């Protein structure tokens, strides 16, 4: 278990990626995305657990690294099953394939992965996110109690609104807060994100990428976090390192970065952002 003193708060990292060193059992099948982080700084489940223990991070969500394995969730699923007291897991399925519903059944029911990541990034224009062909997957995920994670860019937020409104009881996590445009206080450019707070079923994941973006031009990331919490509530905000895809710093440096960024909040709000929100969305981590 993580070495955590009694007076230290519980920390749950809601956005992590791991890569196996056994390429025969878990062959790499990289998606055509920028960067080869999975070769530059891969961490196995055991290596990542050591990082967690060294920094006092109690538990984590293993998110399928589509950049490394595309839709083969085997390593993420196996690692979470091996250490269920520390890890929850989220699969990624090909929503444009012939049978995405069957894929969901395989990974969520047979392999017991607790979340599904809808990787719907589109550099320009809309993606398949709100296509009616995806509705059976949304409906089945709700029936199974599988948590839905959405990965999109900011210009796709209108699509996200449509599915949030169509499935109002489905709680959805937004990776990297949707990569918002951060132009400094009062963050008018990010207003499309803040406008979704009124729906009540969207949860924002503040990753290292978001903290870095909020730090540009000598800005303080705490200003964006305060704004985000004021709009959504601390119980709808969580932290995720994006390690080891984000690997320009060590894990302990990314944890320290987050602690500093969230230190502007009250102790109660920090508890929500570092653990409470994650526990509410991932019951196995409670």
**Structural domain includes residue 3:** no
pLDDT for the residue 32: 72
**Structural domain includes residue 165:** yes
Q: Whole-angstrom Cα distance, residue 284 to residue 286?
A: 6
Q: Output phi, psi for 238, to 5 deg.
A: -145, 165
| 136 compared with 216, residue with greater pLDDT | 136
- Overall domain count for the chain: 1
How many helices (H) and strands (E) the chain has is answered by 13, 8
pLDDT-based confidence at residue 171 (cuts at 50, 70, 90)? very high
Q: Whole-angstrom Cα distance, residue 272 to residue 249?
A: 25
Which of 3-12, 182-191, 275-284 has the least mean pLDDT?
3-12
Instruction: Write the CATH number for 226.
Output: 3.20.20.140
**Structural domain includes residue 6:** no
**Structural domain includes residue 253:** yes
Task: Decide if pLDDT at 5 tops 50.
Answer: no
Task: Decide if pLDDT at 34 tops 70.
Answer: no
**Structural domain includes residue 124:** yes
Percent of the chain whose predicted confidence (pLDDT) is above 70: 97
**Structural domain includes residue 7:** no
DSSP3 helix / strand / coil % (the chain, rounded to 5): 45, 15, 40
Report H helices in the chain. 37-40, 45-55, 66-69, 74-82, 100-104, 135-144, 157-166, 191-194, 208-213, 221-232, 251-262, 267-271, 277-281
Q: What is the number of alpha carbons within 13 Å of residue 104 lying toward its C-beta?
A: 26
Return mean pLDDT, the chain: 95
Over residues 153-158, mean pLDDT: 98
**Structural domain includes residue 1:** no
Task: Decide if pLDDT at 4 tops 60.
Answer: no
Per-residue pLDDT tens for 104-128? 999 999 999 999 999 999 999 999 9
pLDDT for the residue 7: 56
Domain span at 148: 12-285
- The pTM of the full predicted model, rounded to 2 decimals, is 0.95
**Structural domain includes residue 196:** yes
Task: Decide if pLDDT at 2 tops 60.
Answer: no
Per-residue pLDDT tens for 74-87? 999 999 999 999 99
Task: Decide if pLDDT at 31 tops 90.
Answer: no
Per-residue pLDDT tens for 232-285? 999 999 999 999 999 999 999 999 999 999 999 999 999 999 999 999 999 999
Over residues 101-105, mean pLDDT: 98
Q: Output phi, psi for 133, to 5 deg.
A: -65, -20
Over residues 77-102, mean pLDDT: 98
pLDDT-based confidence at residue 1 (cuts at 50, 70, 90)? very low
pLDDT for the residue 216: 86
């Amino acid at each position: 278990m993580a070495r955590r003193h009694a007076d230290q708060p519980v920390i749950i990292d809601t956005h992590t990626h791991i890569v196996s060193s056994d390429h025969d059992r878990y062959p790499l099948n990289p998606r055509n995305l920028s960067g080869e982080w999975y070769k530059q700084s891969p961490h196995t489940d055991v290596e990542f657990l050591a990082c967690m223990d060294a920094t006092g991070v109690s538990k984590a969500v293993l998110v399928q690294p589509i950049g490394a394995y595309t839709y083969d969730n085997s390593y993420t699923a196996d690692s979470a099953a091996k250490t269920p007291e520390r890890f929850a897991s989220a699969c990624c399925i090909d929503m444009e394939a012939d049978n995405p519903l069957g894929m969901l059944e395989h990974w969520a029911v047979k392999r017991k992965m607790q979340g599904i990541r809808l990787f719907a990034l589109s550099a320009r224009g809309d993606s398949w996110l709100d296509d009616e062909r995806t509705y059976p997957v949304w409906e089945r995920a709700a029936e199974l109690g599988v948590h839905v994670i959405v990965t999109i860019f900011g210009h796709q937020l209108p699509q996200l609104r449509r599915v949030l409104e169509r499935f109002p009881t489905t709680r959805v996590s937004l990776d990297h807060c949707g990569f918002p445009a951060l132009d400094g206080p009062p963050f008018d450019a990010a207003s499309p994100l803040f406008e979704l707070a009124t729906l009540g079923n969207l949860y924002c994941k503040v990753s290292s990428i978001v903290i870095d973006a909020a730090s540009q031009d000598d800005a303080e990331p705490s200003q964006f976090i305060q704004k985000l919490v004021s709009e959504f509530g601390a119980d709808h905000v969580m932290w995720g390192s994006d390690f080891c895809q984000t690997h320009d710093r060590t894990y302990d440096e990314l944890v320290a970065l987050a602690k500093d960024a969230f230190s502007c909040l009250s102790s109660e709000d920090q508890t929500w952002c570092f653990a409470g929100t994650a526990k509410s969305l991932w019951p196995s981590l409670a």
